[in-house]
Chains A and B, each alone.
Chain A
Amino acid sequence: MTSQAQPDVPVSADEQKAKEAYFTASQRQLIWARFKKQRTALVAAAVLLALVLSGLFAPFLSPYDPTIAGRDKNYTNGAPQIPQFCDSNGCSARPFIHAVERERSIKTNFRWVTTINEDKRLYVQWFVSGDKYKLFGVIPGNLHLFGVEGGKIHLFGTDEDGQDIFSRTLHAVWTSLQVGTIGVLIAFVLALIIGGVAGYYGGAIDGFIQMVTDSVRVVPAIPLFMAVAAFMPPETSAEARFFYISLILGFIGWPTLARRVRTHLLTERNQEYVLAAQLCGASSSHVIRRHLLPSFTSYIIVDLVISFPYMVLSETALSFIGLGLKDPVSSLGVLLQKATSADVMLNYQWYFIPVIFFIVLVMAFVFVGDGLRDAADPYSDTHK
């Protein structure tokens, strides 16, 4: 520690205070102080927060219902509509888009043809009422942040059913966060129990549990996910599917976490404070819960943040091959499923816009996890 004061050097009151604050700071304050110093991690945390909030308020932020109920049947496979201020007819202070018209007549050879009417403007309005939704699943509402009057606006275009890709993307972010959270929590509880038992008792129990853990770890996860996910009968409802997938992710994600918990416990259980608690007559579960687990909470939180993006990616991969979530639910995998056809790649490239959101989401998680790991490690200052 370079800030160690020499006893004969006079210390100003402010410095004294700062030092006292440092020595009396709680673990959380210390971690936050170290985390604040890392610029990339801080930026990533801000981005992450923004994404989480936009997912949380997705029903309000997105102009339309993400399911088939909110479809725009006049604008299927429509290109993104970017609000503009000026066109050939002059400028306006309020951004607008051009109206689209769809017709089928002898002129169009009796096929539906969508044309953009350059002369008709649809102005962007704030706080419009539209499709009904339930915020957080409980608060009913129909107010949306933006919309247009007398038509529909699709920032990221629409898919083949005319569903708004912008609305779907925001909802998909939220779905992935939910699946990831449930998966991580299940994996975490399993890891705590299994790793906790292995690490605390050691010996033969540890040996046996390690053998099983290593065997599960050595099986490639995605093929295993696929095998388990294939049990779901195809007629399973969307909500049930959602829970199954989270459950599967959790049940297969535990070994790595369990190993970490075990390693921490193995080193911690020989410390004096554990012996003291045992001599006082504390039960094993009491020692694990009250003494051992709090000793490495920060590490566990970091591990959880780090394992999060893998859950999100696995869910995406599963849904992508059709074994995960299915259509009424919006998730990245579901959104991308349609993007593989040559037709989409050649003509409707806006199907790929959600990908950007997910790369940003995963990278934000990775950077925050990395920053947290450095911040939670009390020796990170010394080995740099």
Chain B
Amino acid sequence: MLQFARFVLTRAIMALTTLIVVSLVVFSLMELVPGDCAERYLAFKNTQGSGISVADIEVERQRLGLDKPFFARWAVWITNAFQGEFGDSCILRVSIANLLGQKFWLSLGICLASLALAYTIAVPVGIVAVASNNATLNNTLKFISYFGLAMPNFLLALVIMLLSTVWFGETLTGLFSKEFRDADWSWAKFVDLLKHAWLPIFILGWSATAFALQTVRALMSDEIGKLYVTAASARGVFGRKLLWNYPARHALGPIVNSLGFDLNRIFNELPIVALILTLTEAGALLIDALARSNDQQLAGAIIFLLTASIVTLNFVTDVMLAVLDPRVRKSILR
């Protein structure tokens, strides 16, 4: 038990280190942008008619703490970031935490749902395909996986939009109906969300499914030829029991391990799909922050949060694997 705790602790420390390195990267990116918050505030005031001098900018800089050295500011930013506080956006002059809050959770929910969708399809289909040993089925699946990889999600989204406008004369966009857009959370709003969210979930899950299918098939075809499977079938285990209890259990480990990178891939598509489907969640905010208003505080916060959720997922899968897989557990408890 003590060793298990130590394992969890090391993993947690590793995750934290990764996050700190990432935050340094993100923070440097934010800092590299020409012009800082003080200049922006005052540029805004300038447009409102008050005359601004260089001295005013210096005073504002001191007030915002921008005159401190780089690492000191980074330390402040990262401490606040871990408490979920990202300061104010220079451009919009509102608290980023308020701006993002719900939208970030919404995005994360959609991404996790598409991840779940990908594996609910890929695991059974992949296992059955390998077990059936049917060449046509396998080749078709291989083709589908490659097609899923070659057809980026945003192209798929575009094509679906194209077909839906041509055939139904209706664009399937947005996340909420008009009457729920600003309403408080309620059961009706949740149902309304589900009615709209299936499309982004499907589109985001599309290439994740293709990828997962490939992983599952590769792992299963590696495992299914092994001697322990032959031995089990010689003992008279057959059918579904043989598949699920022997090769599938072994193939599970690497799959659980790769979940973090799958989430990473889904996040990649998030902003672009959001743009096409005109969603109003974190991905759309990211595009807005980067492509339109050049709002580095907001963009940095979103990238940091996305990365943090991947790191968290990696940590959770590591621990889960240690609990589930006796081989990993033994190697820890050794």
Contacts and interface: CB of A to CB of B under 8 A. Distances in A.
Contact of B22 (A219, A228, A322, A342): A219
A285 B22 CA distance: 31
B299 A227 contact: yes
A342 B291 CA distance: 22
Interface stretch (B88-96, B236-244, B270-278): B270-278
Contact of A359 (B150, B287, B302, B307): B150
B158 interface: yes
B135 to A, nearest CB: 13
B303 A220 contact: yes
Interface in A139-156: none
B98 interface: no
A358 B159 CA distance: 14
Contacts of B119: none
Interface in A227-247: 227-231
Interface in B146-173: 146-147, 149-152, 154-155, 158-159, 161-162, 165-166, 171
A227 B290 CA distance: 6
A229 B271 CA distance: 14
A366 B29 CA distance: 32
Contacts of A336: 155, 158
Nearest to A364: B150
B16 to A, nearest CB: 11
B269 interface: yes
Given A215-B22, A220-B310, A317-B272, A363 B146 contact: yes
B268 A222 contact: yes
Contact of A224 (B152, B171, B303): B303
Contacts of B152: 313, 316-317
Interface of B is mostly: helix
A219 B161 contact: no
Given A218-B22, A218-B310, A223-B302, A342 B171 contact: yes
Nearest to A220: B267
A69 interface: no
B286 interface: yes
B1 interface: no
A355 B287 contact: no
Interface residues of B, number: 49
A268 B232 CA distance: 38
A339 B152 CA distance: 15
A308 interface: no
Interface string B19-62: 00110011001001100000000000000000000000000000
B32 A218 contact: no
Contact of A321 (B147, B150, B271, B299): B271
Interface residues of A, number: 42
Contacts of B306: 219-220, 223
A215 B272 CA distance: 23
Interface stretch (A74-82, A294-302, A344-352): A344-352
A359 B18 CA distance: 35
Given A211-B17, A320-B154, A346 B264 contact: no
B317 interface: no
Interface string A184-226: 0000000000000000000000000001101110111111101
B322 interface: no
B280 interface: no
B15 to A, nearest CB: 10
Nearest to B314: A218
B311 interface: yes
Given A342-B171, A366-B146, A223 B268 contact: yes
Interface string A346-372: 100100100100110011001100100
B286 to A, nearest CB: 6
Interface string B248-289: 000000000000100010011111100110000000001100
Given A218-B307, A227-B303, 17 more contacts: A218-B22, A222-B267, A222-B268, A224-B303, A226-B271, A227-B29, A227-B300, A309-B150, A321-B272, A322-B291, A323-B291, A336-B155, A340-B275, A345-B162, A349-B162, A352-B162, A359-B147
Interface of B: 17-18, 21-22, 25-26, 29, 32-33, 146-147, 149-152, 154-155, 158-159, 161-162, 165-166, 171, 260, 264, 267-272, 275-276, 286-287, 290-291, 294, 296, 299-300, 302-303, 306-307, 310-311, 314
Interface of A: 211-212, 214-216, 218-224, 226-231, 309, 313, 316-317, 320-323, 336, 339-340, 342, 345-346, 349, 352, 355, 358-359, 362-363, 366-367, 370
The 5 closest A-B pairs by CB, nearest first: A215-B21, A220-B267, A362-B150, A222-B268, A363-B150
9 contacts: A218-B22, A219-B306, A222-B271, A223-B303, A224-B303, A230-B33, A323-B291, A342-B165, A345-B162
